[in-house]
Each structure stands twice: as C-alpha cells, then as structure tokens.
Amino acid sequence: MTSGDRRFDFFISRSGPDKSIAIFIARILTEAGYRVILQDWDFGHKDFVSMMDAALQQSHRVITLLSHAYLRSEFCGAEWRAIFAEDPKNWGQRLLLFRVDKCQPQGLLSLLAYTDLVPVLESESSLREVVLAGVSTRRNPEARQLISSLTRAAGTITYPEIRPVQNFTGRVAELEALDSAFLSTGNAHAPVAVLCGIAGAGKSSLA
C-alpha cells in the first residue's frame, strides 16, 4: 500500500490502562480536522489482529502512547515494531511517541525521540496545545517553543560529549532553516545541514 492509499492521518496505539487518554487525544485530533482510527471507536467485535493490521496499513502516522503498561504489552510491541521495521531511523516521522506516564523507553524505542505529555496531563488546554504541536509537520515559532521543552532526545547518543542545553531560547530563523533542510524531499539520501560560524557563536548549542 502506498501513502496515497492511506485513509487516516493517525492510528493511536495504546495499552489497556491508557484507554481514556487515547480517547481524549483522538478527540483533540478529530476536532482539529485530522482523520483518526482508534480501536475503541472502530474495531467493534471484529477480529482484533486483522483490524490492527488494517489500521497500521491505512494510517499515514502511528501515535504510540508510551507507558509502563505499553512497554510490557506484546500486542503494543508488535504494533510499533511493524512501523519501526519500515524505517528504523524514523526519517519519515511515521512513528510519533508520546509519553503518558513516567516510564523509560528501552531497547529499540530508546533510539527514538519522544514528546513528554506527563507534565501537561492535568491541564486539558495545555495537553491540547502540546498534542497539536507534536503532530504538526510545520510548526510556527510559538509551537516550536512550546514543544521544545517537552521533547526528549533519543537515548543513544553517538557523540557523548553533546549534552542537552538548558534554557535554550531564540534562534527561530536558524531553527526554521534547519527544519527546511531536514524536510527537503528533493534528495534521495538522508538530508544533511552544516552550521558555520565563529568560535563561541553557539553552533554546538544549536546543533
């Protein structure tokens, strides 16, 4: 199946205990005009495995709700691995990770960045803002600022000397230029961006 054949914008992959937050996120996305498939709305009494396979195939992107229960679930593991196998580095951003409790992704999942919803779970308005910013492929400066503090980098760091930069602000023009470079579809290979500047200009912080 090609991307043009996919009927839904998002499939939400969740564990049993996370049903309520999955439904809430699905409502946020539906109200914003996205097409969402959710097992609680769409599967009914049909064969679960067949419906799950169809949902994965028919969705442009898959939202995984990371929790202790999710990480323990064999069914949930099969869902995200099916997408991971297609694109292990997640260059296509088809797999979106939202953390909904204080768990720590392990193994292959630790290779991917995630958005941490835990700090905003008690505020419906903040949760709505973060979810919509998190799924957007074209973030405005306000959305970028909002999501940056809640984005957790992948667990495996190629260069250990690189550390997160606390209280990083500004650089909107530079970040937008990097976005454009990384989202470019004109090159068949993985996009590359090069930062140039005098010593102390903040190249490492920006990277």
Quick: pLDDT tens for 112-132: 889 999 999 999 999 999 999
Residue 117's CATH number: 3.40.50.10140
Q: Are residues 95 and 38 in the same domain?
A: yes
Quickly count: other Cβ atoms within 10 Å of residue 135's Cβ.
Answer: 20
Q: Span 23-45, mean pLDDT?
A: 85
Q: Are residues 127 and 53 in the same domain?
A: yes
Q: Span 39-67, mean pLDDT?
A: 75
Q: What pLDDT score was predicted for residue 102?
A: 93
Q: Are residues 59 and 121 in the same domain?
A: yes
Most confident of the ranges 67-76, 106-115, 156-165: 67-76
Q: Are residues 117 and 182 in the same domain?
A: no
Q: Span 4-32, mean pLDDT?
A: 89
Q: What six digits make up the tokens of 155?
A: 């667990």
pLDDT of 164 above 70: no
Contact (Cβ atoms closer than 8 angstroms) between residue 25 and residue 98: yes
Share of the chain above pLDDT 70, in %: 68
What is the pLDDT confidence band of residue 203, given thresholds at 50, 70 and 90? confident
Q: Are residues 173 and 75 in the same domain?
A: no
Most confident of the ranges 13-27, 101-115, 151-165: 13-27
The alpha carbon torsion through 19, 144, 111, 96 (nearest 10 deg) reads 30
Q: Are residues 207 and 176 in the same domain?
A: yes
Share of the chain above pLDDT 90, in %: 29
Q: Are residues 168 and 120 in the same domain?
A: no
CA dist 17 and 206 (Å) reads 38
Total domains in the fold of the chain: 2
Q: What six digits make up the tokens of 136?
A: 């957007």
What is the pLDDT confidence band of residue 82, given thresholds at 50, 70 and 90? confident
Q: Are residues 147 and 167 in the same domain?
A: no
Q: Are residues 142 and 88 in the same domain?
A: yes
Identity at 112, one-letter amino acid code:
L
Q: Are residues 128 and 179 in the same domain?
A: no
Q: What pLDDT score was predicted for residue 184?
A: 56
Q: What pLDDT score was predicted for residue 160?
A: 45
Q: Are residues 96 and 169 in the same domain?
A: no
Domain that holds residue 177: 161-207
Helix axes of 48-58 and 74-84: crossing angle, nearest 10 degrees: 30
Q: Are residues 169 and 138 in the same domain?
A: no
More confident position, 58 or 98: 98
